[in-house]
Chain A
Amino acid sequence: MKIKVLTVFTLALALFLSACGKSDADLAKAANDKLAADKVTGVTVAVKDGVATLTGEVGDITVKNKAEASVKSVEGIKSVTNNLTTKPLPVATPSAPDPALTAKLNDALKAAGCSGAAVAVSNGKVTVTGEVPAAKYVTCVQTIQQAGITGIDNQLKKGK
């Protein structure tokens, strides 16, 4: 009699669990496997009632987004709470001291046909004034941003 009760109970439990789908532990394992397959590291996944919570610190926002998408794609995960943080960024260093950077910028601007632009550099931050032909505008902005500067105040005007 006792055995029979136990059997019925076990069967009922098995039926109950299978009706619920995968357990949280299974989902967490599947999520971790998916993250590993997608080469995302540094992420801890906790699953409760099918809701995954991601914690940890990752390199940048693209990794944060990728981790979320990876875990969302796991069958059985209902939703994802993305509590990942991104690594604090190192402080940018200018490619040269201000006078050298100014000279470099002026040379590059002249070479790019942007001689109407004037730059003033302070601790790597560049204030750009003056006017360049509208057709040259993007090129001039590119030239300035590629000089190894760490800040910009763009007041450059588009002329004719």
Chain B
Amino acid sequence: MSAQEKYQTLLELANQNGTTYELSEGDNGTLVVTGVAPSEEAKTQLWDEYERLDPEFRSNDLILNISVGQAGGSGTTYTVESGDSLSKIGKHYGIAWKSIWDANRDILNDPDKIYPGQVLKIPV
């Protein structure tokens, strides 16, 4: 059974509770889930489900990297430079481009259009 199958209820839960995530594959088939939850509560739900599926987290087949988005946040910002894209900036901070997009809907109209000098909120 693949890690995706094993943790499918966790991913379904993320879709339901408004957590945006991206999947990647780490060491030896480890499923790496990088995402942003809308609240502490949503994040706790995901960790509870993780614990239900893998008590004590000793299977070493999932890395759940969920941060809690916005709501004041830690106040990290990034000033766009020429040649940047949301996915490039996301990679720099190790977060999904979507979470940057979600955090900056107030100033962005199109995820493909960012301009040098714009100051983006980084939900880390």
Contacts and interface: CB of A to CB of B under 8 A. Distances in A.
Query: A and B from one assembly?
Result: yes
Contacts of A41: none
B63 A89 contact: no
Given A60-B23, A92-B24, A151 B47 contact: no
- Chain A binding surface SS class: mixed
Interface in A122-138: 123-125, 137-138
Given A150-B32, A151-B26, A145 B4 contact: no
Interface in A32-70: 60-62, 65
Contacts, number: 79
Counting chain A CB atoms within 10 Å of each CB, the highest count among B5, B27, B28 belongs to B27
A70 to B, nearest CB: 14
B84 interface: no
B51 A138 contact: yes
B118 interface: no
A62 B35 CA distance: 15
B60 interface: yes
A89 B47 contact: no
B11 A148 contact: no
B52 interface: no
Interface stretch (B64-72, B97-105, B106-114): B64-72
A152 interface: yes
Contacts of A65: 8, 12
A123 B27 contact: yes
Contacts of B41: none
A123 B4 CA distance: 23
Contacts of B58: 154
Interface of B: 4-5, 8, 11-12, 15, 23-28, 30-32, 47, 51, 56-58, 60, 63-67, 91, 93-94
19 contacts: A61-B5, A61-B8, A62-B11, A89-B23, A91-B24, A93-B24, A123-B27, A138-B51, A141-B57, A145-B57, A145-B64, A146-B65, A148-B65, A149-B65, A150-B26, A150-B32, A151-B26, A151-B27, A152-B30
